[in-house]
Amino acid sequence: MTPASPVIPPLQVPLLQVLLLLVPLLLPFAAPPLARRVLDRCPPVAALWTLTASALLLAGGTVAALGTLALTGLLKIPAFAALGELTHPLRTPSAHLILPLAALAAGLLTVGALTLGRSVLRQVTGFRAARSEADRRPAAGDLCVVDSPHPDAYALPGRPQRIVVTTGMLRSLDAAEREALFAHERAHNAGRHHYFLAAAELTAHCHPALRPVRAAIRLAAERAADEVAAGAVGDRRLTARAIARAALASAAPRSSVLPGMATGPVPHRVTALLSPVPLRARTWIAALLTTCALLSSATAATVALQVHENIEIAQGEAG
């Protein structure tokens, strides 16, 4: 008598996996207070790298967790299960739990994608307008002067890199302050700060708690350029005065990925230049933020791989 083939029981996704997916969604809420401490206690360049890398990891963990939740819920629907070629049902602890979570995750991903797309369109439009305006003007080295009564100055990345400044801004500053302004904007281009600002903008659309971190990254980029400018002109007080006067004169909106001397919390930057606090070894703050980011991404990746293996089993590809 031929033994009956073993019946493969419906695959269950453990409740623990669903609960673990909440970790990458909750950890970003710890980032804003830690980001402020990193910004205050670490050198600007180190803070810029730490904040940007951590924000990217936290954003990646968020997207992976939401995507895994959405996919798990979709595969509960017979039409999507058939589309995924599941030969065995993929079961979750409770349909009443996973389906609302999956719908919420899919909605959040959709909203995030739409707001990010709108932001990208706005940033690209602003960048192209700035590049077109700069290309129409004669340049002296990397300096491009735009005839406009509105004071403004910013670093324009790309090939070639440009320092764009209006005649209104030039008239607002004296000769020494203009040198500090140029040094600041050149520091932005030399440090490739537009990449950090673009990463900050991306992460802010992945999780609402990362929006304050976006502001911290922008401030870290400005602080890094401030320090370079102060070193270039050899006068911290002069640099602080140039920042203050440029900020008071400028009110021109521009793309958030185009860094400029008059952006960011100016009082904070001026205070840091006039009364620099000796930075003691506070690497534990940066390490704590980095640990949270690594835990978030690692948890999301681990659960996503486990769910992928469960789906392969449901497809009959693994035993």
In angstroms, rounded to a whole number, what is the distance separating the alpha carbons of residues 145 and 124? 22
Give the H or E element holding residue 11. strand 11-12
| Burial class for 166, CB neighbours closer than 10 Å (0-12, 13-18, 19+) | buried
What's residue 76's pLDDT? 74
Query: Which of 313, 289, 318, 317 minimizes the C-alpha distance to 29?
Result: 289
CA 260, 263, 266: angle at the middle one, nearest 5? 130
In the chain, the amino acid numbered 46 is: A
Q: Are strands 153-156 and 143-146 parallel, antiparallel or unpaired?
A: unpaired
* Mean of pLDDT values over 288-307: 91
In angstroms, rounded to a whole number, what is the distance separating the alpha carbons of residues 249 and 150? 8
Give percent of the chain with pLDDT exceeding 90. Answer: 48
Q: How far apart are the first and last CA of the chain?
A: 25
Name the DSSP class of 209: G
Q: What is the pTM of this model?
A: 0.86
Name the DSSP class of 159: S
Tens digits of residue pLDDT in 193-244: 999 999 999 999 999 999 999 999 999 999 999 999 999 999 999 999 999 8
What's residue 75's pLDDT? 74
φ, ψ at 153 (rounded to 5°)? -160, 140
In angstroms, rounded to a whole number, what is the distance separating the alpha carbons of residues 174 and 154? 18
In angstroms, rounded to a whole number, what is the distance separating the alpha carbons of residues 291 and 312? 31
Is residue 182 scored above 80 in pLDDT? yes
Higher pLDDT pick, 161 / 58: 58
Rg of the chain, C-alpha, whole Å = 25
Higher pLDDT pick, 258 / 196: 196
What's residue 8's pLDDT? 41
